Amino acid sequence: MAMNSDDGIDSSHPRYSSLVLRKKLADGFKAGLVVPEGLIAHGRGEMFDYILGEKSIEASIVSERAAAAALLSARSPVISVNGNVAALCPDAVVALAEIVEARIEVNLFHWSNERAALIRKRLEREGAKDPLAENPDRYLKGLKRDRGRCHKDGIYSADVVLIALEDGDRASALAEMEKTVISIDLNPISRTTACSTIPIVDELTRAFPNISKSATELKNDSSVSDILKSYDREKVLRETIDHMADRLNSFDL
């Protein structure tokens, strides 16, 4: 049997990449980075990705380019990191933060100071500079409980916030605070997608490197504001849903 020496997963399995992500999440759960609910959330994402075709479609790439443009033109951009993101692609998060000069904030739906510290250390191992994590000192608008906690010097005062796999209430609160919200969520009809300024319907381990690639291309490029002006979120979402519907209708039964 063909085995990959790094992760012990049979590399000849047709769903190898998916198995690798599952293992990263399971390992993240055992290490205390991921909550059990995160495993369920990932399963829902896998289902949408299956229908999407497990690749970044043209509509996603358009949003990823707009996301890069928004991050590059931000005054104070923040990338929000939860347990799943930290388990799946901490390296890609740190790489993007460096390219667009964004602050990283560990921001959790299921809040705990201990888990925030673990995630911060995981990000620091990848080279994250001064990520915000423990002891948040503010609340998102309208969310006075643990799930509303955030940092004054991070999400609270940011103008552009990138969120991945985010709860709908928290995403709505960010939109109500009049921030530019960039979401990464495979569900094209989630509340997070619905209230996001730039909704990216793509798998997060593909989305982060795609945004970084565009940001590298667009750095010092004067077309950034034109990209943002011409971005049409409804068109992108319509194309995404049409793509999914076409795929569902084209399967041989």
CB 62 within 8 A of CB 211: no
Nearer to ligand PTJ, 37 or 176 (CB): 37
Residue nearest to ligand PTJ (CB): 45
Helix axes 233-250, 36-52, angle to 10 degrees: 80
Q: Is 186 helix (H, G, I), strand (E, B) or coil?
A: coil
Tell the smallest beta-carbon distance from residue 42 to ligand PTJ (Å): 5
- Residue 145 CB partners (closer than 8 Å, separation 6+): none
Nearer to ligand PTJ, 38 or 199 (CB): 38
Tell the smallest beta-carbon distance from residue 60 to ligand PTJ (Å): 10
Name the residue among 77, 71, 146, 160 with its Cα closest to residue 112.
146
Tell the smallest beta-carbon distance from residue 246 to ligand PTJ (Å): 20
What count of residues does the chain have?
A: 253
Tell the smallest beta-carbon distance from residue 113 to ligand PTJ (Å): 12
Nearer to ligand PTJ, 190 or 224 (CB): 190
- Residue 131 CB partners (closer than 8 Å, separation 6+): 81, 103, 104, 105, 106, 120, 123, 124
Alpha helices in 14-101 (DSSP H): 16-30, 36-52, 58-72, 83-88, 90-100
Nearer to ligand PTJ, 84 or 214 (CB): 84
Strand 149-150 to 160-164 pairing: unpaired
Nearer to ligand PTJ, 73 or 147 (CB): 147
Interacting residue ranges for ligand PTJ, rule: CB under 6 A:
35, 37-38, 41-42, 44-45, 48, 82-84, 108-110, 165-167, 184-187, 190, 203-204
Nearer to ligand PTJ, 35 or 161 (CB): 35
Instruction: Report which DSSP code applies to 146.
Output: G
Tell the smallest beta-carbon distance from residue 251 to ligand PTJ (Å): 20
Tell the smallest beta-carbon distance from residue 154 to ligand PTJ (Å): 15
**Cα separation, 105 vs 80, whole angstroms:** 5
